[in-house]
Amino acid sequence: MLTVSLASTAQIKKTGEVLEKDERGKYIHYEVITGNSVPVDSLIYRAKLFFKQKKLTGIKSDSTFFERSGRFIINKTAFVLSHPSGELWYNLTFEIKGEKYRFWLTDFVFIPYHRDRYGNFVPSTVKGSPLEKSPGKLNAGEWSFYVSDAGRQSAAFAAEFKEYLSAVQQAKPLNKPAGTVSTKSW
């Protein structure tokens, strides 16, 4: 029985669904992609489109460095019914250097939801709790679920991001060449 649980933990570790801690003690999902065949300008264009589609808000930007902020919704399921339990805010950093790029999700902050008088689930507070800060013994099981769900959603987000950046579709260049306007023919 013990070997099965160790094997399943090793399998989760291989798929990247477990968040690790960085040098600051914060949970992080970090990936470096090498051997990229997509040109840098197309990679930047695709990343900007992905950020726009996912509605990630900008924090910092440079020519090859982007920092964005986004959120995941954590759902709680009881029997068949599911409702949002809270939201998890994160920071995404994306950087390109040569023929490789890297990105990481970190600074996870959990904001719990509650039901308002109209029956909608809304944030119960505006200030969240960092995911690294354990709430104590009473909510330890629920908190460990939030941490594991953050790892699962981060891995799914990373897989979607890598697939979007390495798509074989034709990407438009960022800088369009200035064309001349002809007034003789219409």
> Which class is domain 19-165?
alpha beta
Q: What is the pLDDT of residue 91?
A: 93
Instruction: Give the ranges where the chain is alpha helix by DSSP (H).
Output: 2-15, 40-53, 140-165
Domain ranges of the chain: 19-165
3-state secondary structure of 184: coil
- Mean pLDDT for the chain overall: 79
What is the band of 179 on the pLDDT scale with cuts at 50, 70, 90?
A: low
More confident residue, 136 or 164: 164
Q: What is the pLDDT of residue 85?
A: 85
Closest CA to 153 of 110, 102, 124: 110
pLDDT in tens, 90-113: 999 999 888 889 999 999 999 988
pLDDT above 60 (res 152): yes
Q: What is the pLDDT of residue 9?
A: 36
Q: Is the pTM of this model over 0.85?
A: no
